[in-house]
Structure 1
Amino acid sequence: MSENEPIKLTLKGSPREIGIQHGRSLREQIHDQISIYDRMFQSTSKLSWSDVREVAKEFQSTLEKLTPHVYAEMEGIAEGAGLDVLDIIALNSRSEIALGKFSDGCTTLCWKKNDGARLLSQNWDWTATVKKNLAMVSIEQPGKPTIYMVTEAGIVGKIGFNSAGVGTCLNAIRAKPMISSKLPIHVALRLCLESTSVKNAVETLESLGGVASAQHILCADSTTALGLELSPVGDKYIAEDASGIIGHTNHFIENRYVDEPPWLSGSPIRLERLQQLTQELIEEGIKGDSITPALLRDRIFSDTYNLPQAICCEEDPLRPISNRSSSLFNIVMNLDPKHLGAEVVFGRVGSGEEGPVLRMPWN
């Protein structure tokens, strides 16, 4: 498999069985992820991997208590990959452990079509060193919707949708505080992807006490979309605007519960650009079935205004090489129950170097 056409995994069974399959299938990639994040933690936070594992111990008790099935899956991943469970917890808590010092930027968009169906989409921007360790994963669990997601090796929840038509996208936010007695954001994403509706997802996160760090999850189903501006000290939910749109980048729009100093100068510019591009399409009369994945890739997600911090992000040579970001994949999910599925393109869409259009489900 090439970086532009990654491994596709189908995982089935109990949490432990799913984890073991994951760990065995992506053993090499998981070990490489640890090496990548070890270097990144040292660069951004002056933390060695042993320091990171110490922080992961705090999340270990949280996961055992709040989400024992997810913890059992992490134990399985560790067993399959020949690692300690703390290594896997650290990967799944990397956003929290670094206290938001990473510089990942993403642009997310949900657009309600005339028939009520929603397209949920994003460019996922991160260091190019992890691109070779991405995988397209389906997870079949008894009594739960089947999950289809793009994730990093070793990480249990990310960007995707499920057979109940619930989808998730993610924007990193840099803000304090971090509270390790709450859910890491990648675990929160997994719980959303196990939900039967946006309402169910929100209720689940609230019932478990919320998330450990400030992040934005754009969550949608066939009837509802909400921008979940989450933090350990208070949440805000953003509804669709009059055009049926929610757009988000890497700063909070409404949540004022946290200490959020400016960090990605391009984030407000990207949000304004996203709003401008969607408005142009609306003024052109684009609606209903005219809102297609190809249109969104061509007219929005390939946009290079304000490079390198564009919607289609390019590596900034002025940043340390360990945490330079670029757009690693684009995903557009159709959450219409009659046409449920997603198109994924790895690489920077519109660059001429991106990969083919891949589909989820792929069976």
Structure 2
Amino acid sequence: MKDCDFPILHYQKGNSYKDWGISHGEEYREAIGELFLIRKELMLKRNPSLINHLLPMAQAQYEQTLKYCGDAATELEGIAKGSNLSLTDIVILNNYTDFRDIELTDQGCSTIQVQNESNILSGQTWDMHSSAKNYLCVIEVPETELASKSLILTVTGCVGLMGINTDNCLVGVNNINTTRAEVGLIWPSLVRKTLEGKNLGQMRDILLDAPITSGHNYLISTPKGAEHWEITPTEKDLVHAHGDGEIGSSFHTNHCLGANVSKIESAKNVSATSHARYDILKQKVKNVTDSAQLKKLLQCHEGMPLSICSHYDSGARDPSQTCGGGMADLSSGEIQFWRGCPEYDSNYKEYTYQLNSEEKSFTLKQS
């Protein structure tokens, strides 16, 4: 298995989204090919009957993405071309958790929002099948006519897992298990589309208007407020909100909290760690006052293996491990992304960026 060493992909200003995708695909062709095969195998292991339906399902999801997130869709085309894979292959790599009737119980991310007199803090872990850790990367995306510059945490071949733009708008995502999946867009493309928003209202509108395939909780965070939205193809619940200057904290793991979304939760497929992590956050998040404390919480091992940062593979129901994470202090403009865990991984690596809101720029401070 290839270790990409948590690279930074520098997209070139002035190039098209498709050109960005081609350069992405060409530079990380081997890694993208490996990750596609891993994710396809995991998906078909869950539901072998999908084998004869991948092409039409992927095509339908791509067409919805092209309608709503056209730029990100053409970036996917470029990744396919550059990596010598089919568009279907790249759709599977990006959207494999959302394919209809796929029941993946190994996605265990936690999202956190904290606001106090001095800091506005947002962050999340990225818990995925442990095979994904070696493919984590950061993409530096230049400004375009529609979007500001952004930083994206993702895996090679995927257009986005979470991110922040130079308008100081952050989007994070964690999985929920719900029924009533429909043919909709590829959710990493929605991450990129949401970052076209320049304030909380614009980000919210992008999320709520999107044709969703399956359920996720989205954290959208700005200096003027933050919201957690549980969104499925049929239901949309605002489960937490912070107004401008409001003091408090909120968090989400992987079970449904919204009144409407809870009614369509697939309870048998909820992550076995979700409630334990929720209880840990409920106890500890109140003590978070600055970015160092938020990072410590996101990398906390209390209750291992049912911990916020987990590196235990049971080999059974929940093979998920914490592959990395990201966070931002929207007051100071400091942003951090990491791969692995400083305590359990010899190949742990992190980046620290500084946002300059006036110049609309990011500076890499530490790596």
Comparing 143-152 with 61-70, greater Cα deviation is found at 61-70
Q: 2:203 — aligned with what? A: 201
Residue identity matched to 2:64: T
Structure 1 unaligned segments of length 5 or more: list them: none
1:97 CA drift (Å): 0.6
5 Å-filtered alignment, 1:210-249, equals 210-237=211-238, 238-240=240-242, 243-249=247-253
Q: Is the 8 A contact 2:43 2:102 kept in 1?
A: no
Task: Report the Cα distance in structure 2 between the residues aligned to 1:255 and 1:190, rounded to whole angstroms.
Answer: 28
- List 4+ stretches of structure 1 deviating above 6 A: none
Question: 263, 266, 269: which one pairs with 1:261?
Answer: 266
Aligned length: 345
TM-score normalised by L of structure 1: 0.87
1:172 aligns with 2:175: yes
1:345 aligns with 2:338: yes
CA pair 310-100 structure 1, distance change in 2 beyond 3 A: farther
> What is the DSSP-based 3-state SS (H/G/I as helix, E as strand, rest coil) of the residue aligned with 1:306?
coil
Task: Report the Cα distance in structure 1 between the residues aligned to 2:45 and 2:177, rounded to whole angstroms.
Answer: 17
CA pair 100-170 structure 1, distance change in 2 beyond 3 A: farther
- 1:107-157 CA-to-partner distances (Å, cap 9, x unmatched) read 111111314x52111111111211111111111142211110110111112
Comparing 250-259 with 141-150, greater Cα deviation is found at 250-259
1:114 aligns with 2:107: no
Question: 306, 310, 313: which one pairs with 2:303?
Answer: 306
CA pair 357-113 structure 1, distance change in 2 beyond 3 A: farther
Q: Percent identity, aligned pairs only?
A: 20
Residue identity matched to 1:306: G
Q: Is the 8 A contact 1:18 1:139 kept in 2?
A: no
> What is the DSSP-based 3-state SS (H/G/I as helix, E as strand, rest coil) of the residue aligned with 2:197?
coil
Task: Report the Cα distance in structure 1 between the residues aligned to 2:196 and 2:158, rounded to whole angstroms.
Answer: 15
1:315 aligns with 2:318: no
Task: Report the Cα distance in structure 1 between the residues aligned to 2:67 and 2:97, rounded to whole angstroms.
Answer: 20
- 1:169-204 CA-to-partner distances (Å, cap 9, x unmatched) read 111111111111x33322221111222122101112
**RMSD of the alignment, in Å?**
2.3
1:269 CA drift (Å): 1.9
- 1:307-349 CA-to-partner distances (Å, cap 9, x unmatched) read 22211112332417xx71111112221223xx32311232134
Q: 1:159 — aligned with what? A: 162
Q: Is the 8 A contact 1:11 1:138 kept in 2?
A: yes
CA pair 261-49 structure 1, distance change in 2 beyond 3 A: closer
5 Å-filtered alignment, 1:1-363, equals 5-12=5-12, 13-47=15-49, 51-97=53-99, 99=101, 101-102=103-104, 103-115=106-118, 117-143=119-145, 144-180=147-183, 182-208=184-210, 210-237=211-238, 238-240=240-242, 243-257=247-261, 258-262=263-267, 263-279=270-286, 281=287, 287=289, 291-292=290-291, 294-298=292-296, 300-319=297-316, 324-336=319-331, 339-351=332-344, 353=346, 355-360=348-353, 361=362, 363=364
Q: Is the 8 A contact 1:111 1:119 kept in 2?
A: yes
Task: Report the Cα distance in structure 2 between the residues aligned to 1:175 and 1:212, rounded to whole angstroms.
Answer: 11
Task: Report the Cα distance in structure 1 between the residues aligned to 2:121 and 2:190, rounded to whole angstroms.
Answer: 21
Task: Report the Cα distance in structure 2 between the residues aligned to 1:120 and 1:203, rounded to whole angstroms.
Answer: 20
Q: Is the 8 A contact 2:5 2:134 kept in 1?
A: no
> What is the DSSP-based 3-state SS (H/G/I as helix, E as strand, rest coil) of the residue aligned with 1:309?
coil
Q: Is the 8 A contact 1:344 1:359 kept in 2?
A: yes
> What is the DSSP-based 3-state SS (H/G/I as helix, E as strand, rest coil) of the residue aligned with 2:92?
helix
1:268 CA drift (Å): 1.6
